[in-house]
Chain A
């Protein structure tokens, strides 16, 4: 009898705890997806404020990506709607979170995954934390106690904010690369991919297939983060996944990156000038897939024209 009582007490305790976690998660969840409301990675999460089913291409990855792809240029050149969900140091567990979040409201036809994230190490602990934080957002947003107002606590969440650059991080800083000459020196070796990372990408591929989205792996130009061994590793993995892989580091003719001028931090990330070249190539490539339609002139997408005007205005102000 005593065992039954103890088991019952334990179950009651756990249920009570779960209830408290759900309650506190509701309280701590940002009620808007703006920075001021405490939203994490608010620029990338600006996609939550986009009109439902309006995004055709989802770019996902780490800082290499948010420095390299300009969604508003894609709109300008081809009329494709896209969003750059790159975040600093993004690991694949967070990539999965962003994918899930996006597909709740959007149904992009193409998902472009920046391959550098595939080599970023993460642990089972990271996955556990991310999963737990997904169910109980108090773990992710607990730090909001510092800024939270009482009236916010009971408000329903309403995500209407969207980033003016659609996730792209603008920078015109120039700091020349120091290893451009030796960059992408051919090698037969292949950089191994961690088991957990492989599994995560396989899951991402499966998810995209189920949702009817085409997964493309891309390596954006970087003299610091990319090399031939990684190229070999991803190329082989892409074959295994049966998806396309574009390594822009090898496309010196198609994407003529000037490593003296097109990088903001010695070849690690591209600046606006480099990103422009990458996006130009991408717009042609995406057109060749024949999966997308030009939405310019469509009254439902008027806001994209307004965003582009603002972006161009900003470029003028920056004398670019």
Chain B
């Protein structure tokens, strides 16, 4: 049976190759069908009959979009030629109608996501509360099969409907274009979370496959493979051992694993994004970037503008702004501004919006207290940073520290990295309790004894494994610096003569084949973000 487990499986790469081949050979009208068919085959091979959920979401989004458009058109027709006051009153009536439709749409789409993903978690917690209250009543904990990518395509669907509601885009009457937008197979499992205006038209147009796109896309896929097979899968040897039984290890090893996990998560997710974006590029489709050298961030806010960018912008556009621009929040800001001034005044309404964003962000990643803690941790850090900013500016001014200087930025980057690693420790820990224990152990049981005795090299990764990880990290660091300087490495390689190009590709392929963590003795890492 043809079944795909990860993007990095032979089956997935085979599907990509066959689709690319058909796409290259067929005329435009059929190319879009090839993409849609490949997308549904991809979905079916992972989730089987749960494909029905995706089809239902697509049909419902299409229908609700048209419904909204009809109401908007009706409103425009009815208000045409009316006096201002009458127009305003009628607009309000239609606005209310649209809001009801949006409420219904959210109820269906977010409701389905909540039902499938969060009911077991909520039921468990209600049972715990009932038990604490002395009640013998117990809710049945449901078990649902969750279709792959539901967290991703639901957000795309909701974004599309909100954009139609806000008249940013017209509702699409073409069901196929919408179906392609919802299901395009490279991005189905782990994103990026695209907007309708980003990809729908290009997907439906199904541009001709071009040689340069094919080469650049293949390059990026190779780079993603390197990150996944050499770094993420190799680090798995250490991470799975330490996080499974943290009590066995000292604070130094736990701290190292926290750093290792942060790097692993980055290599896994950004490597997958390289594959996804590279695969789309082969078809001439430009997907939005999800990563922009996040470890060069000076603050946590900046980090979230560079890490999982499409999720961050989704929360910003569809949660942060609507909440902060709502009437009660505007009123609150005006009042607070009078009492607390221009910096701290807007912070209160901002904090409420930020709280909504981070509780959703935590829950989006998973139904568990550690994920909620992870969200609240970042909420506290960002809010704390905003509150402390004027004080920090004053202190640095008094101490004559140039905040724009290179050493100061380096310190900020290091601080942000450490804070991110702590956050990821809770994120990966097997439950919140375990995360707290591990965090405490870093400070109460920190010793270099394991390094001196060599037991560090018996926790899953040996000396050579560490060397490869360090070499790969240096490689990514150098590439990151070049990209920060605006150098387009892939384009530069593509412009070199054929011998240099071949040498670079061969070196990368051999690096993956020789240093990849696959075969006997290795357990490949499950795609982390596909689980969300």
Instruction: Give chain A's interface residues, CB within 8 Å of chain B.
Output: 6, 9, 12-13, 16-17, 20-21, 24, 28, 40, 124-125, 128-129, 138-140, 142-143, 145-146
Contact = CB atoms under 8 A, between A and B. Distances in A.
A16 B506 contact: yes
Contacts of B510: 20, 24
Interface stretch (B54-62, B154-162, B515-523): B515-523
B498 interface: yes
B514 A142 contact: yes
Contacts of A24: 510, 513-514
Given A20-B509, A145-B464, 11 more contacts: A6-B211, A12-B502, A16-B506, A17-B509, A129-B10, A129-B519, A138-B513, A139-B519, A142-B516, A143-B519, A146-B464
22 contacts: A6-B211, A12-B502, A13-B505, A16-B506, A17-B509, A20-B506, A20-B510, A21-B513, A24-B510, A124-B10, A125-B11, A128-B10, A138-B513, A139-B513, A139-B519, A140-B519, A142-B515, A142-B519, A143-B520, A143-B521, A145-B464, A145-B515
Nearest to B2: A124
B9 A125 contact: yes
B212 to A, nearest CB: 11
B41 to A, nearest CB: 16
B531 to A, nearest CB: 21
Contacts of B519: 129, 139-140, 142-143
Contact of B514 (A16, A40, A129, A145): A145
A42 B527 CA distance: 33
Given A24-B513, A24-B514, A125-B9, A40 B520 contact: yes
Nearest to A196: B1
A99 B21 CA distance: 37
Contacts of B464: 145-146
Contact of A142 (B498, B502, B506, B513): B513
A20 B513 CA distance: 11
A209 B278 CA distance: 48
B205 interface: no
User: Among the interface residues A6, A124, A143, A145, which one has the most CB atoms of the partner chain B within 10 A?
Assistant: A143
B4 to A, nearest CB: 10
A24 to B, nearest CB: 6
B462 interface: yes
Contacts of A125: 9-11
A13 B502 CA distance: 7
A216 B9 CA distance: 36
A12 B501 CA distance: 12
Contacts of A21: 513
Contacts of B462: 146
A21 B513 CA distance: 9
A128 B519 CA distance: 13
Contacts, number: 43
Contacts of B506: 16-17, 20
Contacts of A142: 513-516, 519
Interface in B182-209: none
B109 to A, nearest CB: 35
Sorted nearest first, the 8 A-B pairs with minimum C-beta distance are A146-B464, A125-B10, A142-B514, A145-B514, A20-B506, A142-B513, A138-B513, A6-B211
User: Among the interface residues B506, B514, B515, which one has the most CB atoms of the partner chain A within 10 A?
Assistant: B514
User: Among the interface residues B464, B519, B521, which one has the most CB atoms of the partner chain A within 10 A?
Assistant: B519
B333 to A, nearest CB: 57
User: How many interface residues does chain B have, given as a range?
Assistant: 10 to 19
A40 B509 CA distance: 23
Contacts of B11: 125
Nearest to A3: B211
Contacts of A16: 502, 506
B498 A9 contact: yes
Contacts of B505: 13
A145 B515 CA distance: 8
A9 B520 CA distance: 35
A133 B519 CA distance: 10
B3 to A, nearest CB: 8
Nearest to B10: A125
A24 B513 CA distance: 10
A97 to B, nearest CB: 13
A6 B498 CA distance: 11
A317 to B, nearest CB: 30
A140 B10 CA distance: 16
Interface string B1-21: 000000001110000000000
Nearest to A23: B510
Nearest to B467: A146
A30 to B, nearest CB: 13
Contacts of B211: 6
B459 to A, nearest CB: 16
Contacts of A146: 462, 464
Contacts of A9: 498
A81 B243 CA distance: 49
A142 B510 CA distance: 10
Contacts of A129: 10, 519
User: Among the interface residues B464, B509, B510, which one has the most CB atoms of the partner chain A within 10 A?
Assistant: B510
Interface string B489-515: 000000000100010011001100111
Interface string B262-278: 00000000000000000
Contacts of B516: 142
A236 B97 CA distance: 68
A41 to B, nearest CB: 9
Contacts of A40: 520
A124 B515 CA distance: 24
B21 to A, nearest CB: 13
A126 B516 CA distance: 17
Nearest to B514: A142
A140 to B, nearest CB: 7
A266 B99 CA distance: 65
Contacts of B520: 40, 143
B17 to A, nearest CB: 13
B183 to A, nearest CB: 24
A245 B207 CA distance: 59
A125 to B, nearest CB: 5
Nearest to A145: B514
A108 B521 CA distance: 31
Contacts of A145: 464, 514-515
Nearest to B520: A40
B235 to A, nearest CB: 16
Nearest to A140: B519
Nearest to A195: B1
A131 to B, nearest CB: 12
Nearest to B509: A17
A305 B510 CA distance: 47
A124 B9 CA distance: 11
Contacts of A13: 502, 505
B502 to A, nearest CB: 6
B512 to A, nearest CB: 10
A67 to B, nearest CB: 20
Interface string B138-156: 0000000000000000000
A5 B11 CA distance: 30
A17 to B, nearest CB: 7
User: Among the interface residues A24, A40, A138, A146, which one has the most CB atoms of the partner chain B within 10 A?
Assistant: A146
Contacts of B10: 124-125, 128-129
Contacts of A28: 514
A95 B486 CA distance: 53
Contacts of B498: 9
B443 to A, nearest CB: 34
Interface string B346-357: 000000000000
B516 to A, nearest CB: 7
